[in-house]
Copies of this chain bind each other. A is one copy, B any other.
């Protein structure tokens, strides 16, 4: 398996504080960067975390609330000044283009690269991005405006061919790809060597689910079942459960109940309300329902699969 890192650039909610930047994450999957949401200040945090601007080609916006997208125009403007040439794809609600295109036209005239908006249709779960090694599926959230979470999944890797066996059976190069893909090997003498003797299993594909912003929603469970890491918004604590309901957000406890019911491997909490000076109580409440569980934090880098 290649690298699969989650970088937290911001994990606050609508009101920025001195403790948190608004929601922004960058996944580093085999040195390709995928940004999820882009709050104000994202480009500064991007730089602070020493990630490479040029490795970013895809941005996924969960929804068009300012704390999830006010950093987009500034970051694109900076890319332009730095002479980027590669296309940038923004996966977002279909309205995003009509919102951001006029700003790009005004502030980033003569952009030396294309910004392409790919619509993410809300209310459904479908593959919205795919390349050789990963695919991204949208996840319907329940929020005050149309909102999508994202499931990032590695594609299953080839099995590892055992060098000794290749030598022993003198397996020709042109047969090796199909054996890695799971095929048995038939020797020139007609003997069938079962795949299990020739290969070992690859590490299972890693899966990361980003669920923000959303009310408590059990309809999510099948899609995120068993993911290696679930990022779930935890805007509020038990003290503000009613407020969570009214604003279509979740409490830390609700996030943890979702994690438990989906049997995820780890839970990462974020999107904290500005009302909490310290999120330890939120962690404690979540911990009563599920573990392992951790708080997101600016600058945090999590390596999956290790």
List A residues at the B interface (Cβ < 8 Å).
14-18, 21, 40-41, 43-44, 47-48, 64-67, 70-71, 73-74, 77-78, 81-82, 99, 102-103, 106-108
Contact = CB atoms under 8 A, between A and B. Distances in A.
Contact of A103 (B41, B71, B82, B103): B103
Contacts of A67: 77
B66 A77 contact: yes
Given A15-B78, A16-B74, A40-B71, 19 more contacts: A14-B81, A15-B81, A15-B82, A16-B78, A17-B47, A18-B47, A18-B48, A40-B41, A40-B74, A41-B41, A64-B106, A66-B73, A66-B74, A66-B107, A66-B108, A67-B77, A70-B77, A70-B107, A99-B106
A16 B47 contact: yes
A44 B47 contact: no
A37 to B, nearest CB: 14
A47 B19 CA distance: 11
A70 B48 CA distance: 19
A35 to B, nearest CB: 16
B70 A73 contact: yes
Contacts of A47: 16-18
Contacts of A71: 40
A47 B40 CA distance: 14
A58 B65 CA distance: 25
Most B CB atoms within 10 A — which of A16, A65, A106?
A16
A7 B37 CA distance: 31
9 contacts: A15-B78, A15-B82, A16-B78, A17-B47, A40-B41, A41-B44, A65-B107, A99-B102, A99-B106
Contact of A70 (B18, B74, B99): B74
Nearest to A76: B66
Nearest to A16: B44
A108 B102 CA distance: 17
Nearest to A73: B70
Nearest to A75: B40
A17 B48 CA distance: 9
A246 to B, nearest CB: 15
A17 to B, nearest CB: 7
A78 B82 CA distance: 30
